[in-house]
Structure 1
């Protein structure tokens, strides 16, 4: 879980970017007013890194082989387990668009019964976070539903979003006011 900070943000988001950085930010997700999200304006402090981060993040969100609903299930579990309210909030919205119900989103954090395939996805996420590995039982159960490429993607997806949660927490990125919060008894 995140450590307490004396202030957040620790790294202030870029407010008046140079033209090259503004071009990079124009290619990122933005809020309803067209303002790039805080995560990207914070990462813009290191434009070369942000550019490469966006390539891999964009792959997972738009070009990967995983179904969107299953991808978001794993991302939400990673965000919750990593204590990243910012990542959680963004992916609640993306998860809804991908077909997750509000009840499913809440159960990602607070627990509950899942169909076998979803339970295996959540177990893979927990195992990667806890052990940087996946048990044979979980792997072979998921192999009945996913290709080798998708299994590889699942593991890297969890790692990527764990890394992102670490950045968001350590930099103290403040979530936009319009984003949802943790579930009522979560966080």
Structure 2
């Protein structure tokens, strides 16, 4: 049983639905359409509205190439043992062209491409030390500009925070509801 289950349908009010404006189409601003994670966040509409603005940037507006974003998120999800993130971002990884082998390798912190290996190592370093060394920052700067590097740091941090929340609340996969 989740610590915080999705907000029941009879408790969805205009404020809960409004929290998803700009993130979800109107027809999905309900307990079934939002999915378990967002329906759980609906318990705190003000926090949800603020947090989703940041999340939308990370997922849709980031300067980080989608492939690199998904590799980083997959590594975070694995390190944080977050089944919800891992499942959803495995699918998103496939959508951006990652193979099953690349997805599995990213979870292990391994990549055939030298730069992608540096990126995965950066996830580990940031997770372990809460900062990137000058050497790692410079290595990332070989292919990423300053904004992309910033988006990477915030992606790793944002998805680490989400994994903590999802694991604590007991967010279940949609088919498990």
TM-based fold match above 0.5:
yes
Contact 2:69-2:152 within 8 A present in 1 as well:
yes
TM-score by length of 1: 0.84
Match of 2:24 among 14, 25, 28: 28
Superposition CA RMSD, Å: 1.8
- Superposed CA offset, 1:104-139 (max 9, x none): 111112354421110011011000100101122221
Return the alpha-carbon distance in structure 2 between the equivalents of residues 59 and 155 of structure 1: 13
Q: Match for residue 2 of structure 2?
A: 9
> Paired residues, what number?
168
Question: Structure 1: which 4+ aligned runs deviate by more than 4 Å?
Answer: none
TM-score by length of 2: 0.88
Contact 1:25-1:41 within 8 A present in 2 as well:
no
Q: Match for residue 183 of structure 1?
A: none
Contact 2:102-2:111 within 8 A present in 1 as well:
no
- For 1:30-49, list aligned pairs within 5 A: 35-49=33-47
Greater share of helix residues, 1 or 2? 2
Return the alpha-carbon distance in structure 1 between the equivalents of residues 164 and 111 of structure 2: 28
Say yes or no: does 1:94 pair with 2:89.
no
- By relative contact order (CA 8 Å, sep 6+), the higher-ranking structure is 1
Return the alpha-carbon distance in structure 2 between the equivalents of residues 47 and 167 of structure 1: 15
Return the alpha-carbon distance in structure 1 between the equivalents of residues 41 and 69 of structure 2: 23
- Superposed CA offset, 1:89-110 (max 9, x none): 1111111111111111111123
Higher mean displacement: 72-81 or 133-142: 133-142
